[in-house]
Structure 1
Amino acid sequence: MPAHRMSMRKLKEVLRLKWVCGLSHRQISRAAGISVGAVSAYAARASAANLDWASVEPLADDELEAKLRLPADQNTQARRVELDYALVHRELRRANVTLQLLWEEYVEAHLGERTYRYTQFCQRYRDWAQTLKRSMRQQHRAGEKLFADFAGHTMPILDGRGGVAFRAHVFVAALGASNYTYACATRSEGTHDWIGGLIGAMEFYGGAPSLLVPDNPRALIARPDRYEPGLGRTAQEFVNHYATAMLPARPRKPRDKAYASYCTLCG
């Protein structure tokens, strides 16, 4: 198991996001607020224990922990220490830093542990770097993602005498694969407005997507973070109830919210 063990409750959420929602390990990392390596390690341990969501869901915490205990040789002999891809990527931008140097530092930092050879280290980093390039081209499966945001402008709601009763905020959502759009007016942009808008959208579409992608709203985020924003309690209970997942778009990451931006233009 990783050095810093997470609670069994969070581990269950990681496995639910993987098996029920079909998210990638990187998406789960961001949604759950843990490293990609930790996600991979727990997923591998669950697979080695021949578990699936049907068998994990009813387990109590102590039962799940017992199920995931494997003989030490199975856990330590097969796995190599994974490199920190994001760190390698950042360090390579510095003058005179090479993959050879970073590999030597990686090996030195993990003396006595199983590490990758230099050629493997380079190939794994290059494979990871290619995923960054592929992210330039977003392709969405039908029903996979629902992007949502509030339009930048409000609209007047008139009273019975023709005066402005209040100015409504416009919630807009769009399916990633088809751009099929839903919109509704709300009193504000609070938590209940976000949740109500998402529920209205799912009722409109006739089902819940695998992943909800709101534009990083404060109303849904308990722990603001540039890389791993954490969901508030209400938002987490909402996604659990609808058996979906929520992955807020990161600030200053336009590819995360390409369709959320599209939504606001529709408003």
Structure 2
Amino acid sequence: MTDYLKILRLDYLDYSQRRIADSARCSRHTIRKVLEAASKANIHWPLDEDITNTELERMLFPDKYKSVCLYVEPDYPYIHRELAKPGVTLTLLWEEYCCKCYESGRTPYMSTQFGDKYRKWARVTKTTMRIQHKPGDAIQVDWAGDTIPVYDSVTGKRSSAYLFVSVLPCSCFVYAEACDDMKTENWLNRHVHAFNYCGGAARLLIPDNCKTATTSNT
């Protein structure tokens, strides 16, 4: 089998196609074909350590396996596009995929394999995966990383303020408030202010940094 991993690694190291062909023991035509397919599929070195040449070949040349593979390879770009739509889940897409397989008399992957293969494809192609959020189910909270400057309107004296931020991830509704410190009293009161601003409390309260939320606010 062609060493696709080696080809991508040497190309990343700026080897010429002639040197890659000599090292990987294949023709320059093969090198060009592999690199063109990798560019088209947005696959670039470095890759995860658990990716094999067989898996990489299936991603680079999916048409090669359509007639010989027992199972139907999922349409990963289609799955990713559909997941961006409200209410669409991997389970629904797997059921749709199964129906199409059965209609053509071919065998689908099981649900777990279907999900695992999509997630691996997304990692290899560096595709951003969409996280599903239910409206009002959770609120994310944290202190912003940097302080902000605050100026006294009378004296012009500059001081630093800590910024508390909360976000409803489904709607991206934001509440922010500046505080003079990050002590527990301010931390708790700003939660109350955020809930009042949003008109209610979410089922889940998710601090971005649990250590900051529990140990550094004393």
The reply to whether TM is greater than 0.5 is no
Normalised TM-score (structure 2)? 0.39
Larger radius of gyration: 2
Normalised TM-score (structure 1)? 0.33
Q: Report 1 or 2 for greater relative contact order, CA contacts < 8 Å, sequence distance ≥ 6.
A: 1
